[in-house]
Structure 1
């Protein structure tokens, strides 16, 4: 077990397994793609412990609170980390986080997207620290997200050289 995996375990957190593709859905893209030491990850949503889509659904500022969104964003971070781990092995291979785009399923007047995406950023910072975990970020509101999930995040990071 690597250092990052140990920190996850110390926080009582576990990475979900790969999400099965929902019936009738076609996903013709990679969840994670490497280009040298550059690693990009596609938009991920929150997952349940069994790997399925998390049951929390709806819009922030309507059915869901900022606290709900923050927790959903933490779950997205775990989903992303699971995909990265399956691609590169140990999460200790991550040299630094570069960029995060957080998308929030928002009611028309909801404007606290940054507070929601802090759930993702705070977990990354707690695992990698301020030097390796710091990243540039956008947090934007969307009229709708796939499957009515509350949060979706995509981004880029840098791997340590082999």
Structure 2
């Protein structure tokens, strides 16, 4: 029997968070026809004055991968709201992941797999498989270890 995304989330012990208002002059998502663009979301938040750690130095691949998974949970909540329910998802089209990493770090794909794997686990292979980019950057807002955005198509 095929499970719904909600059933898969429950089986994984995941509750989707309430969406928070963006901190800036942008919105959580924008619809253009049947395509929905989800704004980038980062994790984890760092208190002001706390030094920004880098993936590949102070932050391990495993910890950064967990950050990517946390971002994916938030993006699933945004996706569900934007679509009016997961039953209206045709396809997760594209994921773009950024990793706040040291210049010599090369495991960006392993980090962003934390999000990609969860998307497939929750949405299923047919609707959750997606094109993707995973890149390293010199810094991210608020000292995030990762930031991820996504594009989805509505039925």
Q: Could you tell me the TM-score, scaled by structure 1's length?
A: 0.84
Residues 62 and 107, structure 1, Cα contact 8 Å, conserved in 2? yes
Once the two structures are TM-superposed, the CA of residue 87 in structure 1 deviates from its matched residue by: 2.6
Structure 1 vs Structure 2 CA RMSD: 1.9
In the alignment, structure 1 residue 88 sits paired with structure 2 residue 89 = no
Matches within 5 A, 1:60-79: 60-79=55-74
1:40-79 CA distances to partner (integer Å, 9 max, x unpaired)? Answer: 11111136xxxxx478x63211111110011111001011
The CA distance in 2 between the partners of 1:31 and 1:58, in whole Å, is 26
The CA distance in 2 between the partners of 1:123 and 1:85, in whole Å, is 15
Total equivalences in the alignment: 149
Matches within 5 A, 1:10-21: 10-20=11-21
Give unpaired runs (5+ residues) of structure 2: none
Q: Could you tell me the TM-score, scaled by structure 2's length?
A: 0.88
TM-aligned CA distance change 1:65 to 1:18, over 3 Å: same
Q: Identify which range, 11-20 or 104-113, moves more after superposition.
A: 11-20
Give unpaired runs (5+ residues) of structure 1: 48-52
In the alignment, structure 1 residue 31 sits paired with structure 2 residue 32 = no
Q: Identify which range, 31-40 or 78-87, moves more after superposition.
A: 78-87
Q: Identify which range, 32-41 or 86-95, moves more after superposition.
A: 86-95
1:125 to 120, 124, 127: 120
